[in-house]
Structure 1
Amino acid sequence: MSRRPRTTDPLTRERIVAAAIEVADERGFEAVSMRRVAEHLGSGTMSLYRHIADKDELVFAMVDAVTGRYAYPDPDGMDWRERMHALARTDWHMFLDHPWMLAATSSVAPPFGTESFASMEWALEALEPVGLEPHAAAQVIMTVNNYIQGSVRVVLGGSDYGAETDDPGVNWQRRLRAVDLERFPRLRWLVSLPLPETDRNWFADGLDVILDGVQNRRSAGQ
């Protein structure tokens, strides 16, 4: 990434955060530093510190800015399961579009900012009809989030093997078909089966496995 020519445009927090996101999109999260962002802007490194205290604050702002670009939809007319599917699809696309977010969200502890808070609030509201205790609702959200991120990692890993689909289940099965599983008969049998014919992918079906468990807890009054 070449250094941009110096510009007379005023340096602002928003410009710095946008530049940092561009660096992460182009080169990955590990490439993000105050120096590289300054180079990307054609500015001096020390000038960034007038607007951003340190790298942690920069990462907070990056996460919050990207989260704001992927706001959850208007929930009017959706039941709680439909809302959780909408949440999962939105986050799925966010992580695929910006893979560095996987590392960024685990490298610093929340809170991130108002956009992130709005997403958390949306998710908690979505689960209110289930009648879970607040901590149980938070556990559901964390479990769904871990499922989304894990599935994205499978797809991103599959891209190194020429994966032709963004369905994590299909990628996983196709990759294992190329492996010698003679010593693992159950696994060999599983991957030899035809892929299920469905109008939904494994990601959506897997999410329903989690939501079925939530539904069962609701029915049992837990």
Structure 2
Amino acid sequence: MSSDASPGPRSRRERPAKPALSREAIVDAGLDVLRREGLGALSMRRVATALDTGPASLYVYVANRDELHALLFDAAIATIAVEETDPARWREQLHGLAGRMLRMMVEDFPGIAIMGMAAIPTGENAMRLTESMMSLLRAGGVPDQALAYAPDLVSMYITAIAYEQALYQELYADPAHEQREIERLLERFRTLPADRYPTMASVAALMTRGTGDERFGLGLDIIVNGLLATPTDGRLSEGCPPD
């Protein structure tokens, strides 16, 4: 009789012990799913599978999917570096911060931008980022009422650009698609009938000018310049929306 018989099933005692389940482990696993597979793959079941457990086990630490999303978004924000405000470089620092926010949502965690659009982030890391942004804008001279609204306006702009870019990457995997789209737009704007679209025709050559980074920076400056220049005193009643 051969002595090479295959061994039977391993006892549970012989298997490596699973890492202890915790809120931190759930967040780490969720971020890993986001990073590797994108937002579409993220679910309580998928995170549970990554942790080698069942979905019910996660609910001991996370109330529901909305709380999971909030925890993941705040943890992703923690990866964004902030600098001590230098009043002499406030605009440069603001552009740097906005660029890091954009890269986090587009490159590091594709698709996560929609989490920032679905709810207002209020975690500790979001507060750290907001404090830095407001400190930079105050150093630039943005008045208090405009400053109070600034994080919402600036973050909404950055998040919308990030979501657009992530969606574009998801829909058009072909690198050549972007160049074809630019060429299509150039041709369309170049041939606009001036009698029907006189304003657009007059600036047609300018409408596709600049790289994505340049256009992003220009949009940010337009918002900041508006915050600096738009009077707010007497425009809003306390506790009431504007007319």
What TM bracket, shorter-length normalisation?
A: 0.7 to 0.9
Distance 2:219 2:148 in 1: 19
CA distance in 2, matches of 1:131, 1:193: 30
Q: 1:18 aligns with which of 13, 28, 48?
A: 28
Q: Does 1:201 align with 2:210?
A: no
Matching of residue 119 in structure 1 with residue 129 in structure 2? yes
In structure 1, what residue type is equivalent to 2:149? Q
Change in Cα spacing, 1:164 to 1:24, as seen in structure 2 (3 Å) is: same
> For residues 77 and 124 of structure 1, do their structure 2 counterparts lie closer, same or farther at Cα, with a shift above 3 Å needed?
closer
Cα 1:38/1:207, change in 2 over 3 Å:
same
Aligned-pair RMSD on alpha carbons? Answer: 3.6
Matched to 1:176, the amino acid is: L
Per the TM alignment, residue 194 of structure 1 is displaced from its structure 2 partner at its CA by 9.1
Counterpart CA distance in 2 for 1:88 and 1:171 is 28
Contact 1:20 1:37 in 2 (8 A): yes
1:156 aligns with 2:169: no
CA distances 1:196-222 after superposition (whole Å, capped 9, x unpaired): 579x7221122222222233348x9x9
**Structure 1 residues 165 and 143 mapped into 2: Cα distance closer, same or farther (>3 Å)?**
farther
Determine helix, strand or coil for the equivalent of 2:21. coil
**35 and 73 in structure 1: CA distance in 2 versus 1, 3 angstrom threshold:** same
Consecutive unaligned residues in structure 1, runs of 5 or more: none
**Residues 39 and 206 of structure 1, relative CA distance in 2, 3 Å threshold:** same
Q: 1:132 aligns with which of 112, 118, 143?
A: 143
Relative distance call for 1:8 and 1:41 in structure 2 (3 A) is same
Cα distance change on mapping 1:73 and 1:7 into 2, 3 Å: farther
Question: Which runs of no fewer than 5 residues in structure 2 stay unpaired?
Answer: 1-14, 236-243
Report if the CA contact (8 A) 1:154-1:172 is conserved: no
State, as a whole percentage, how many aligned pairs show the same letter: 26
Query: Of 12, 37, 42, which aligns to 2:47?
Result: 37
Q: Are the counterparts in 2 of residues 155 and 171 from structure 1 also a CA contact under 8 Å?
A: no
Structure 2: which amino acid aligns with 1:95? M
In the other structure, the counterpart of 2:106 is: 96
Q: In the TM superposition, what is the alpha-carbon distance from 1:46 to its structure 2 partner?
A: 1.8
Amino acid corresponding to residue 186 of structure 2 in structure 1: R
Higher mean displacement: 89-98 or 173-182:
173-182
| Aligned residue identity for 1:209 | I
Q: CA deviation at 1:66?
A: 0.4
2:154 paired with 1:141: no
Q: Tell me how far 1:92 sits from its aligned partner.
A: 1.2
Query: In the aligned structure 1, how far is the partner of 2:175 from the partner of 2:201?
Result: 20
TM-score when scaled to structure 1?
A: 0.75
TM-score by length of 2: 0.70
In structure 2, the residue matched to 1:50 is: 60
Return the index of the structure with the highest Cα Rg.
Answer: 2
Which stretches of structure 1, 4 residues or longer, exceed 6 Å deviation after superposition?
A: none
- Matched to 1:42, the amino acid is D
**Equivalent AA in structure 2 for residue 68 of structure 1:** A
Residue of structure 2 in register with 1:106 after alignment: 117
Q: May I ask how many residue pairs the two structures share in their alignment?
A: 210
